[in-house]
Structure 1
């Protein structure tokens, strides 16, 4: 491939800044904007004009910081060995931290107003109306916001709270010594996190078992230290919740995103009531793999022969465009721009970070990073990241900056809608039973690990925090016992709950960001429900979904999803996802000729 041909598969960052010098100019302007805001300290709310000027300056600063950060991060992520890119990224990260500390006084000062005063100010300065939803949320959170001095202290304590995750990461990366294990070939491989999928998807069951035991027993040998780290993290969450007058740490985590606690409970209760579908799939797995009993280390190996079909990026692009044609020409025309105008950095390269992501930039178009190698999973990753791209594009084009950033609760919906539509499209087009079985198997494993496994984690977190809120200590025996009981509940009596699983909680980094993982389960449920409506109802459902994409963060997440026809406070979206899972089990069972 020529250099010119390669360039079309890299992103063009000139839509953000034409040069590094232009980026530097932004950094020069940031202190001036910060100064303009800090000069207003104590006087922000004394007049409508002061309020409007301050909010507009904060918005200008936020847009500048976000653009500068995005440019630095995107540059660094494609060439992590480049000292200039690294320096830019570290500088803007440091600047952003300093700015947040300097402006911690703003929210407490805004809350010196009440709703009536804000309404008077809006009548005086109609431009303030664009901030109406911001203030509606702010007034709702008023009882949880402290004095300026306390907010500054809480910002510093928050840094302390994040240190528990850093200690955990340091322990896992630098201090744990993972053993070498072997399989039937007797070739040694280290039982560490980096080899997780490689080993657990291996056809060598001896290797899978030895890896599983080697990995989890390593965590088990440090369970006292890790339990203490986790206990500290949970205690910090509870301290902050109590200080801010929340009912619980879970209430704090959900209320900050305006998610009713009932949504969390509804998810857990609905999934708990339908664990039989998961257990049915495990039974199918056991029979398809020819096993007498099924263990955790049998959950990732493909149940059908890997066809190793490879796709060029152009083929993947065409597949995704065909699958998403149901979303309309306006949608696919923007996607074509993403391909033609180099919004995507496609292939792995030396110094490029691993994985995939998308990033929205107000005043520019979104960008997406891939590491495309041509397998089917990469085709789905392309569809997934383009869902994020389109959500950001529609939101930024249709909302003022203040309402453009959508909540994490809705962030995975658009991406998973795209994946679901791609799955349905491929399933309808494939004639080969082997290819269809391969696709269904991949879909089921994705649903199992997202819907069921993340709900399992959410269930565990809820119970752990409730124990600590009742002044119960978090010791390894309690954590291990709780974790094993959940395995027995979710996975059933025919699943072997090995002793090593009582240590698995110790390796889950997401537990240090409390009450986050449930959103993976609600996100995939909402997405499957929306895709089902679009394909069954056509234009009315599509119009509602587009309205959702265009709404950004202009309303509460629950209300935004209702525009797309999904009520996450009801069991229905979760039941839709479970029905999809159940039907896929039945289809795979029929193709394989295995009764379950």
Structure 2
């Protein structure tokens, strides 16, 4: 039950800053040793040294064997034995989580280090062995007779395990025999092969050098790609766009087989557990009705004309005859592409998140000061951004900070995850401390919205307002519309695989290009290179993950409005019902208690209405003399 809440960010551009030329202050490090300690996370807070980590790992191995021999085949003998087993299980998993997190975090910031790779391999082997030695647990629990289970769930001693057990019973029909569950546990490393190969392939693919705005030859890489796509120099961003996707296309068959392997694995597990589809298997596991996924795609598709209208306006503002895909990220204001020093970014985030109150800000400040965050990129560091940690650690945040406004928003986003982990772990017992992505992305995108609202409320000039509005519109494009496009692509490729249709590099490219044309409309040129964009999206290896960015953004738009209009009552309600809830209730129930009902399409429609209102305001300012 490793809580792999590696929450990659869909960053949005949400903030204003001083006008410092980007290249003047951009921070770049060739190796980890060059980075000052204050910009690196402190893993000594988890273990003081490797020896302490090894002792815990050995303890997990030993206690896993003891757990199996002590409890397997005996859980139905008495409620007291079941309770003892659940307590021991929680303690065992807590220790394993901590050991695994330590190894993974250490590796992610230095992926070329063979010793750290071996350390991670060791942790993963223990994790797999633990999964095998506990694979019988769920089948035994759900096999307890219904009359006996009803008595157990009514006992006060089982209060902390009540929802956990009820959630297991909810999917009882998809729980297999002990032997089959053990077999699937043994297969888990195989099912992760596609994701692992994709990660290594993405790291090993060398992108070409391009000429920057100053005519200097620079190395293109995944960390700086979006920065070049935001360049005001169209030649630079076109070169970056073509170089990136041309290189990916050179490896198209390998990327395709890697993605197809992931799809096949998802379909296999769905079939093994008697689900009608991989989509239903994924959503049911998180207690989300499939209609939530479908109504997102349907609602966004109905409102694509609004996205097309936005893109037409952007084309007008940029002054280009044709809007190409390499123009999409281009800021519309002259002062947008500026470097923001990290220490300034911290202050901007703290100011933007003031509505959360003093305690929230105090914990944020502690995180900034005490080794929670790994800030800068190096060639051997994992790309992107995420928040992770274990129940017995403080949260950890990985960044690859480049100094853009997107990066400032990324900080707010990932700290939204970190604060949810912090308050959940403080409030919930271990067994209900892991929260699903469906609610996690609400906490993170809520912070992004608060950051925007704060900056817009303090904007003093028309230029500032236009800049912020255009950034907020981009947030909608990248989070609500783009992630729904990804979700639709993911659904379609799984349906094609399940139907026996061949998935090849050419068919994936064709399908993705047609979707891109639909989402971006006739007014935007869907350049041929964009057909390979699916090879740049690691989230396709997380199994129907991306739709939650869109649904969460819709929910957080509503909750942010409640916080800013209702004040303290809404803050306390959202903190208690969302940040502290963990996995103590179904995700839709958690959000409903916080103030938004995601069982209907209403929040999606409301978010799109906010997009339309923002678009109207932006167009009004554009038309002002």
Category of TM-score, reference length = shorter chain? 0.7 to 0.9
Tell me the SS of whatever aligns to 2:294: helix
For the 8 Å contact 1:387–1:418, the answer to whether it is kept is yes
For the 8 Å contact 1:305–1:438, the answer to whether it is kept is no
Q: Does 1:377 align with 2:406?
A: yes
Change (3 A) 1:75 1:196: closer
Q: Deviations over 1:471-492 (max 9, x none)?
A: 3333455444433332232212
The alpha carbon displacement at 1:8 in A equals 5.6
Change (3 A) 1:550 1:353: same
The alpha carbon displacement at 1:30 in A equals 1.9
Q: Does 1:580 align with 2:610?
A: yes
The number of residue pairs the alignment matches comes to: 590
Q: Does 1:109 align with 2:107?
A: no
Whole-Å separation in 2 of the counterparts to 1:479 and 1:308: 34
Tell me the SS of whatever aligns to 2:387: strand
Q: Deviations over 1:458-515 (max 9, x none)?
A: 1122222223333333345544443333223221221223334444445444334332
Q: Does 1:148 align with 2:178?
A: yes
Q: Write out aligned runs for 1:72-471 (5 A).
A: 72-76=103-107, 88-122=119-153, 126-169=156-199, 174=204, 193=222, 196-220=225-249, 223=252, 226-307=255-336, 311=340, 313-346=342-375, 355-372=384-401, 374-471=403-500
The alpha carbon displacement at 1:240 in A equals 2.2
Q: Deviations over 1:37-86 (max 9, x none)?
A: 11122222222122112111110011111222334444555666778766
The alpha carbon displacement at 1:428 in A equals 1.1
Which residue does the alignment assign to 2:21?
none
Tell me the SS of whatever aligns to 2:558: helix
Higher relative contact order (CA 8 A, sep 6+): 2
Quick one: which of 53, 57, 77 aligns to 1:23? 53
Which residue does the alignment assign to 2:68?
38
Change (3 A) 1:314 1:179: closer
Q: Deviations over 1:367-418 (max 9, x none)?
A: 3344556543343233222211211111111111111110121112112111
Q: Which runs of 5+ in 1 are unaligned?
A: none
The alpha carbon displacement at 1:450 in A equals 1.7
For the 8 Å contact 1:324–1:418, the answer to whether it is kept is yes
Quick one: which of 66, 83, 95 aligns to 1:52? 83
For the 8 Å contact 1:412–1:524, the answer to whether it is kept is yes
TM-score for the superposition, normalised by structure 2: 0.84
The alpha carbon displacement at 1:111 in A equals 2.3
Change (3 A) 1:594 1:216: farther
Whole-Å separation in 1 of the counterparts to 2:160 and 2:593: 21
The alpha carbon displacement at 1:298 in A equals 1.1
Whole-Å separation in 2 of the counterparts to 1:68 and 1:18: 12
Q: Which runs of 5+ in 2 are unaligned?
A: 1-34
Higher mean C-alpha displacement, 402-411 vs 235-244:
235-244
Whole-Å separation in 2 of the counterparts to 1:255 and 1:305: 47
The alpha carbon displacement at 1:343 in A equals 3.7
For the 8 Å contact 2:230–2:331, the answer to whether it is kept is yes
Change (3 A) 1:164 1:329: closer
